[in-house]
Structure 1
Amino acid sequence: MKDRLARAEIVRLDGQVAGLEYGTIWVKTEGSQYGVTKGLLRSFRFQVNGTSVVLYSPESAIPFYRKVELPLANGDDVCLAIASEALDGQHLVYGLRHAADPHVYIAFAAGSLEFQPDRQMYYLPRLPRFWGKSRWRQASRFGIAAAMAFCVFRYLAHGERGEDGLSTYVVMNSIVALALAAYLLTIVYGSLRWRLNLPTPRQRNLLAVLHVLEVSDTGKICAV
């Protein structure tokens, strides 16, 4: 199955919403199997032209994304960007356009499902983890954590002998500074690739979603 899912493409599906069912699912919001941080995703399961699909969007505690009310009801005319291959009989929805709404809804927060290997979601095409301002909010939180670490290391080094204290302080702060620099470089690298039209694999998947939904103005994107 994983080979079939790994060859999946992002394709278009047009039609009316039927059999809409709403539910929720708890997901880990960090990659470690020992992580305890969890968030709640909403699941919208429905059919369009006889094809079963599922759309995930944030409910609460999903980092950097907030709950958005989706324009979705039975009988609505929609245009979807979905995975060409189904998992458990349902195709994952990457993007949604509603005939009566100027926005395009992109399911970035569904990336939280990557930490659920039993569902094999991570074999399907993946989108960037963050979009727009959420990327820089993430960077600012990381910077605040680094500043707090600098203060803690300064406190721990206080009272030690001059050479030993300075050495401990410098070494620990250097480690944090390198981690922060590497993290920021990753964000800047992704931003430059996007702006220079040299997309990363995940950014190419996003471009495929926009192409399928015929979106030329990224200002219309609503990240969910």
Structure 2
Amino acid sequence: MSASYHSIALFDLDHTLLPIDSDHEWGRFLVRLGVVDGAYYEQQNERFYNDYKAGKLDIYGFLKFALKPLASHPKQTLDAWHQQFMSEVIEPQIRAESISLIQKHQDLGDLCCVVTATNSFVTRPICERFGISHLIATEPEMTADNQLIAFTGNVFGEPNFREGKVRHVEAWLARHHLSWESLEKSCFYSDSMNDLPLLEKVHTPIATNPDNRLRQLATDRNWQILELFNQ
């Protein structure tokens, strides 16, 4: 990657490119598989999801909950489950509107990247399905014991959440010899008020399928509001 890129297009994933929350749906999928304590896990999954929507999520508490199943099963088994998850849950939610939006930016020569708080185990195959090779996500910690790769159940580094998204994007830009100052254009598509720090950082914030709080803020600030899905 070189500094030949002059424009970037950043995309949140859940309720932005997807009309669902992949993190939440992965939890529900594990309940349906019967590999977690169903009643307890579903209750906690809903509680954290509602906290996120309300803007009061304890991100470390959530990650301790969400990453535990990754440490409880071999990665080969997890990968097989994720293939099933992609087929049964994600693929039916891939919308032509999202594909077209991404393609528009790629045709313009923009450097495209998904920037999501959801962990990379869940999101990388989804990102690849959208044809985007760059992903900035919350990273689960991994270990290699006797060449066997496994998740520890812990988060690696800072979660990619709120202000953390800004720091991770800036580190990603630096790795590619780019900076906010070197870019002619930058845009970020997001549905959530949780993403306000990064929305305020780019040249063009685009409230996409926005929640009520972000919709009001976007209206007040005269930001573009994009209703991506025809539902």
TM-score range relative to shorter protein = under 0.3
TM-score, normalization by structure 2? 0.24
**Larger proportion of strand:** 1
Normalized per residue, which structure has more helix?
2
Bigger relative contact order, structure 1 or 2, given CA contacts below 8 A and separation 6+? 2
Greater Rg by CA:
1
